[in-house]
Amino acid sequence: MPELPEVEVVRRGLERWVAGRTVGAVEVLHPRAVRRHPAGAADFAARLTGETIGVPQRRGKYLWLPLEGRDLSVLGHLGMSGQLLVQPEEAADEKHLRIRVRFEDAAGTELRFVDQRTFGGLSLHENTPDGLPDVIAHIARDPLDPLFDEAAYHAALRAKRTTVKRALLDQSLISGVGNIYADEALWRARLHYERATATLTRPRSAELLGHVRDVMNAALDVGGTSFDSLYVNVNGESGYFDRSLDAYGREDEPCRRCGTPMRRRPWMNRSSYFCPRCQRPPRVAS
């Protein structure tokens, strides 16, 4: 389940292994992997061929490869199970290989998009004047972005009539936070997921944002979270941050602060993990 830290690890891998290389051939093995490319698989392959990859960029969970000398980018999202692998050309195809990008140089490696559940994909888009693929212009800056507008974020939280976990997952307010890191940050901040954002004081909301950053930075240091073999970084190495999770996936296990058994509650077609003692529900549940 790649979230911001995992995607950043992938971006760094692409910067190291793919930037500056010119595309020789593109093979789309599953149409769903390019479903966000409206003109279809053949158009995607044809337009990408011959282009040179610039420095990979990221916002939240999206990453994109600018094409040198063009106002175009290859936009990528890993979805639930996507991987971008740099593999030797002779390596056997992965079972869920969806897209293969070969290069003109003689480095002997190719870029592969592998995705079991096909929630992710690649597509080509024109850039906005500030170099962002146009279809993600609505995605807010993420908390690790130096230009993230903290004051505007706190003001938006106070103004909205919503609950704190919904706000954390709202990619138009803050991007890059998924279910795992939302639960982790809420646990660290001792906040219940249904707490109304309008009741958060500025210091409380700043504290929560600090925990979001801490959790993400900790994951980045270790190279991403992994629960199974699904998440692999750009060179095929798994991350091992999962041992450090304090909330997510810990139903019935003791809270690491107070020992109370952690709980799981269905929430928005997914789950919320929390400590019933440290994270008291708001008096008026929504």
Partner DNA sequence: AGATCGCCCTGCTTGC
Partner DNA sequence: TGCAAGCAGGGCGATC
Catalytic annotation present for 51 = no
Q: How far is CA 253 from CA 14, 63, 158, 249, in A?
A: 38, 35, 33, 9
Decide if 101 contacts 23 (C-beta within 8 A). Answer: yes
> Is 265 a residue that touches DNA (CB under 7 A)?
no
Binding mask 119-158 for DNA (x = CB under 7 A): x---------------xx----------------------
Q: What stretches of the chain show up as alpha helix (H) in DSSP?
A: 4-17, 41-48, 150-159, 164-169, 179-189, 202-222
Active site residue 2: yes
**What's the CA gap between 19 and 181, in Å, rounded?**
29
Residue from the set 83, 127, 171, 197 that interacts with DNA by CB under 7 A: 171
- 160 counts as binding DNA under rule CB under 7 A: yes
Q: Which of 21, 61, 100, 112 is catalytic?
A: 61
Among 12, 17, 19, 32, which residue interacts with DNA (rule: CB under 7 A)? 32
The reply to whether 282 belongs to the active site is no
Task: Output the smallest distance, CB 133 to DNA, in A.
Answer: 10
- Is there binding between residue 224 and DNA (CB under 7 A)? no
Amino acid at 8: E
Q: What is the DSSP letter of 108?
A: -
How do 72-77 and 121-126 pair as beta strands? antiparallel
The residue ranges that bind DNA (CB under 7 A) are 1, 3, 32, 60-62, 77, 79-80, 95-96, 116-119, 135-136, 160-162, 166, 169, 171, 178-180, 248, 264, 268-271
